[in-house]
A = this chain, B = another copy of it.
Amino acid sequence: MNTAPIIKHFSNYSPLSDSEISELKSKLIEKKVKRRQFILQEGDVCKHYTFVVSGCFKMYKVDDKGQEHNLQFAIENGWIADIGSFHTDKPSELYIEALEQSIVLQISKPDLIYLYSHYPKFDRNFRVLIENAFISLQKRVLQNISSTAEERYLYFLKSYPNLFNRISNVQIASYIGVTPEFLSKIRKSIATK
């Protein structure tokens, strides 16, 4: 099990001691996930926080008309989970699906709570994690209520320079909240500027 990436990831926040590392390792579950495979489906309770070692995922909602709306992507060294479902134990409305062949490390809620209560550092690290997620989500809300689709597209390119050339424009369109046809128009208009 390749745990080096997640240990390095935590060391960016506040480095882990040897005992914290060995406890963390004992709680992690490694999973190989094929392209198009789901690690969460609508109706299921989200039972794990998922750390991406390699590969790429999207989390999205399917609306009444059957259309997908991307809420989040995750690539190497990123986390993905339906935090709402995870913490409330209620069925999720979301799907998490691999866009590429991927390897992940998962941690269950009881194991996370165990780490929280025995090692305050995990408490702190996960709070910082969610604070950061909150901050970037807040920026996105502001963008959505105040910017044009073109501005949102440019902001996406700027914010995720390692992602945009790895996923299809269909996925980007679904993330910024426009149709693929309109994104195509935007891209043309940007190119001819």
Interface residues of A (CB under 8 A from B): 61, 63, 67, 69-71, 83-84, 87, 116-117, 120, 123-124, 126-128, 130-131, 133-135, 137-142, 144-146, 174-177
Contact = CB atoms under 8 A, between A and B. Distances in A.
A134 B135 contact: no
A146 B84 contact: no
A39 B83 CA distance: 30
Number of copies: 2
Nearest to A136: B84
4 shortest A-B CB distances, which residue pairs? A145-B177, A84-B135, A144-B144, A69-B146
Contact of A130 (B84, B124, B134, B141): B134
Contacts of A134: 83, 130, 133-134, 137
Contacts of A128: 87
Contacts of A140: 141
A158 B141 CA distance: 19
Contacts of A145: 69-70, 144, 174-177
